[in-house]
Structure 1
Amino acid sequence: MFENVGWAEILVLVVAGLFILGPERLPEAARWLGSAIKQVRDYATGARDHLRKELGPEFDQLQQPLNDLRGLRDFNPKRAITRTLFSDDEPVKPNGYATTANGTPASVTPPAPNGAAPQKPLGSNERPPIDPDAT
């Protein structure tokens, strides 16, 4: 919870507390703050245990997206890009590039947009169709 708070920030909070509360009331305020944090943690732990008991194995399924988000802290963009670009899990990449089992490129026609039939290649003296509404 407070893993990003350093000693400098804690020192600033203590000095501010001394000026605001004074040296007489500061120990009592620190004690109250510590007990309040402990009570909130106890409530959170109790609620989590109660949910785990009520939901059973479904609780782990609910907790999985949170664990995935926690895993983003260790996200390495370079590794993700490398895995995406050079992974051979898919036989045909989204850009239409395909490889065979031995890793050599295979000729694959990319899928036509909107499920239309793929267009045939143009002949040597044939002009491409022009859409007057698009120009």
Structure 2
Amino acid sequence: MFPDVGPLEVVTLVILAVLLFGPDKLPGLIQNVSAFIRKYREFSENAQQEIRSELGPEFKDFDFEDLNPRTFVRKHVLDGDGLGLDGIRDALDPRQELTEVANAVRGAADDTAEPAAHRAANTVSLGKDTPAPAERPPFDHDAT
């Protein structure tokens, strides 16, 4: 029930309980605590049964442990029934979509390709235009 509590801690708690409540009141206290735990378990079982009956027959096999986020992730993501970690990783990887888009753009560019002579006449140089060496650069008198 408590995996972190060792035998030395249990002995310490028993000695502390005997010192605080005394040997004459300790059995009655243990009975009261056990009765409270029993009533709490009965109450929670009745509440679960009532919720199952209110939900209807399609939720008859509903397990309340599935509401725990860890259990939900373990059951639906990490098991083979769900996507799995590889499926999630592949779904979030943009490389495949980017490759498809790049191929579509290349295909559209190839479909509208112009002849080489026509393409050469319409090209625009992205470099700096330098005048011929014998030519004098233009001079704007209004700009100076």
Give the TM-score normalised by structure 1.
Answer: 0.50
Larger RCO: 1 or 2 (CA < 8 Å, sep 6+): 1
Give the TM-score normalised by structure 2.
Answer: 0.47
